[in-house]
Amino acid sequence: MSSNRGNFSSRIGFILAAAGSAVGLGNIWRFPYLAGQNGGAAFLMIYLICIFLLCFPVMVGEIAIGRAAGSDAMGSYTKLGNKRWGYLGLFGILAGVFILSFYNVVAGWAFGYFLEISFGGLLAEPDFGSFFGSYVNDISDNLWFSLGFMVITALIVSRGIQKGVEAANKIMMPSLYVILVLLIIYSLTLPNAIEGLKFYLIPELSEINAQTIFDGLKQAFFSLSLGMGALITYGSYVNKQQNVVSSAAVISIADSSVAFLSGLMVFPLVFSQNMSPTEGPALVFMVLPEVFSDMGPILGRVVGGGFFLLLCFAALTSTISLLEVPTTYLVDQKKLKRTSVVWGLALLIFVLGLPSMMSQGMIPTLNSLPFYQGRDFLTFIADMCDLTLTVGGCLMCVFITYQWNIKNMDNELAIGNAGYMNSFLRTYLSYTIRFVCPILLGILSILIIIDKFF
């Protein structure tokens, strides 16, 4: 099947696309605020341990499944397992659709902020907290910006794997690193930056508690785009000469380095203004504009615009992968035309995102769900998606252990990697996939349910 569905043209093309999927709002928006709320350096430490202990093996497993089967998420589980396992793939595809529905709303905010800071008067606002509050309530801005974001995503995905997904990532990923490094250099020159660095880099072990571990693990999983078949899908476009294990290592390092670097940029900025890092989801939308506005009208536009452009690039490389997952499914399984599938899905997902968009104050019931401890609909969907990812990752490990067989995974990984069979990594992956990951991910999933519903 793989021959006529297209492939990534090169190893670097695949790595950039998968790293693009991983690097997203999760790294630049969610990671700094979770780190800010969970003691800074302590959170960073837990996050990095989770990435290498749990996420790296799951990533290798997903890519191996995709490449071995050469099909979409549902097709791959069906082919290597059976029809019933195929539903696990379908479950992941649906999770991707829901993630994209709310993700696109937040991406729309970032897009709007980029335009309003670079070309509008946002930095002259007297109060950024109330500005954000009214901004997320402004139906027309929200509609246009998130529609715009979805249209750009669909335009890229409709061009196919090489000309769309790979080409866009090849431009955006390096640009993202350049913008990030420039912003870090700037933020480190600010007064009091050192206090931000201390908060972020010197761990207070007493800050580590169940919540830190829980948030670190959840964030690591979301950040690497695991558990919903995104990497099965991308893996299905990888050719057999590639070394999957080393590619997965590069992707994990690329992703965690962007999260690490965004902390390195955000905390010196926040501390330079004597602000609190514990602001939560509003951190980059409420606190950072304050910082940019203090830089003066011209520098503020450049640095602030640069920051939100970075956020848009990161979000776009992820929305591309989120739309690619159901697209590949419909093209592979239902034999539909890529362009029609992409535009149909984009419209559907945009509409599915409307309740999330309107849950920030526009519609009071959506703003405070009675069955969800009064939290808003966007938070509800985002939390449910976190849960499906950890459940999906756990079940993927069960699939490899009991259905596909770890030996088949080893054989797949040995293709393109001559020394694999006798390596330490093989032993490591075999233990983590069979024991460590399913057990810890299973426990985490149960904890998420208890935390959110009881």
At closest approach, how far in Å is the CB of 430 from ligand PFF?
A: 25
At closest approach, how far in Å is the CB of 214 from ligand PFF?
A: 17
At closest approach, how far in Å is the CB of 217 from ligand PFF?
A: 14
Residue selected from 17, 20, 27, 213 as contacting ligand PFF according to rule CB under 6 A: 27
Residue selected from 13, 20, 24, 66 as contacting ligand PFF according to rule CB under 6 A: 24
Residue selected from 71, 153, 169, 223 as contacting ligand PFF according to rule CB under 6 A: 223
**CA–CA gap between residue 183 and residue 264 (Å, rounded):** 9
The structure tokens listed for 221 are 């999983």
Q: Count CA atoms closer than 13 A to 203's CA, side-chain side.
A: 15
Burial grade of 273 (CB within 10 A; 0-12, 13-18, 19 or more): middle
Alpha helices in 83-138 (DSSP H): 83-118, 128-135
With respect to ligand PFF, which residue has the nearer C-beta, 230 or 245?
A: 230
> Does 22 engage in binding with ligand PFF (CB under 6 A)?
yes
**CA–CA gap between residue 210 and residue 221 (Å, rounded):** 17
Residue selected from 13, 20, 26, 164 as contacting ligand PFF according to rule CB under 6 A: 26
CB atoms within 10 A of CB 351: 10
> Does 18 engage in binding with ligand PFF (CB under 6 A)?
no
- Compute the CA torsion angle 210, 286, 308, 313 (nearest 10 deg): 30
> Does 263 engage in binding with ligand PFF (CB under 6 A)?
no
- Which among 63-71, 273-281, 314-322, 403-411 is the span making contact with ligand PFF, rule CB under 6 A? 314-322
With respect to ligand PFF, which residue has the nearer C-beta, 101 or 272?
A: 101
Asked whether the beta carbons of 72 and 323 are under 8 A apart, the reply is no
Residue selected from 225, 243, 293, 401 as contacting ligand PFF according to rule CB under 6 A: 225
> Does 59 engage in binding with ligand PFF (CB under 6 A)?
no
Asked whether the beta carbons of 366 and 376 are under 8 A apart, the reply is yes
At closest approach, how far in Å is the CB of 321 from ligand PFF?
A: 5
> Does 97 engage in binding with ligand PFF (CB under 6 A)?
no
- Total of residues contacting ligand PFF (CB under 6 A): 16
> Does 313 engage in binding with ligand PFF (CB under 6 A)?
no
Asked whether the beta carbons of 395 and 86 are under 8 A apart, the reply is no
For residue 446, the one-letter residue type is: I
CB proximity list for 288: less than 8 A, separation 6 or greater? 266, 269, 270, 304, 307
With respect to ligand PFF, which residue has the nearer C-beta, 24 or 36?
A: 24
At closest approach, how far in Å is the CB of 345 from ligand PFF?
A: 14
**CA–CA gap between residue 332 and residue 330 (Å, rounded):** 6
Residue selected from 99, 238, 437, 440 as contacting ligand PFF according to rule CB under 6 A: 99
With respect to ligand PFF, which residue has the nearer C-beta, 62 or 279?
A: 62
**CA–CA gap between residue 7 and residue 11 (Å, rounded):** 10
Alpha helices in 127-209 (DSSP H): 128-135, 139-158, 167-188, 193-201
Residue selected from 157, 232, 287, 322 as contacting ligand PFF according to rule CB under 6 A: 322
Residue selected from 153, 247, 321, 388 as contacting ligand PFF according to rule CB under 6 A: 321
Q: Which of residues 165-194 bind ligand PFF (CB under 6 A)?
A: none
Asked whether the beta carbons of 96 and 228 are under 8 A apart, the reply is yes
**CA–CA gap between residue 363 and residue 142 (Å, rounded):** 14
Q: Which of residues 228-257 bind ligand PFF (CB under 6 A)?
A: 228, 230
At closest approach, how far in Å is the CB of 190 from ligand PFF?
A: 27
With respect to ligand PFF, which residue has the nearer C-beta, 183 or 385?
A: 385
**CA–CA gap between residue 70 and residue 420 (Å, rounded):** 21
At closest approach, how far in Å is the CB of 93 from ligand PFF?
A: 10
In 249-328, the DSSP E strands lie at none
Residues binding ligand PFF (CB under 6 A): 21-22, 24-27, 96, 99, 222-223, 225, 228, 230, 318, 321-322
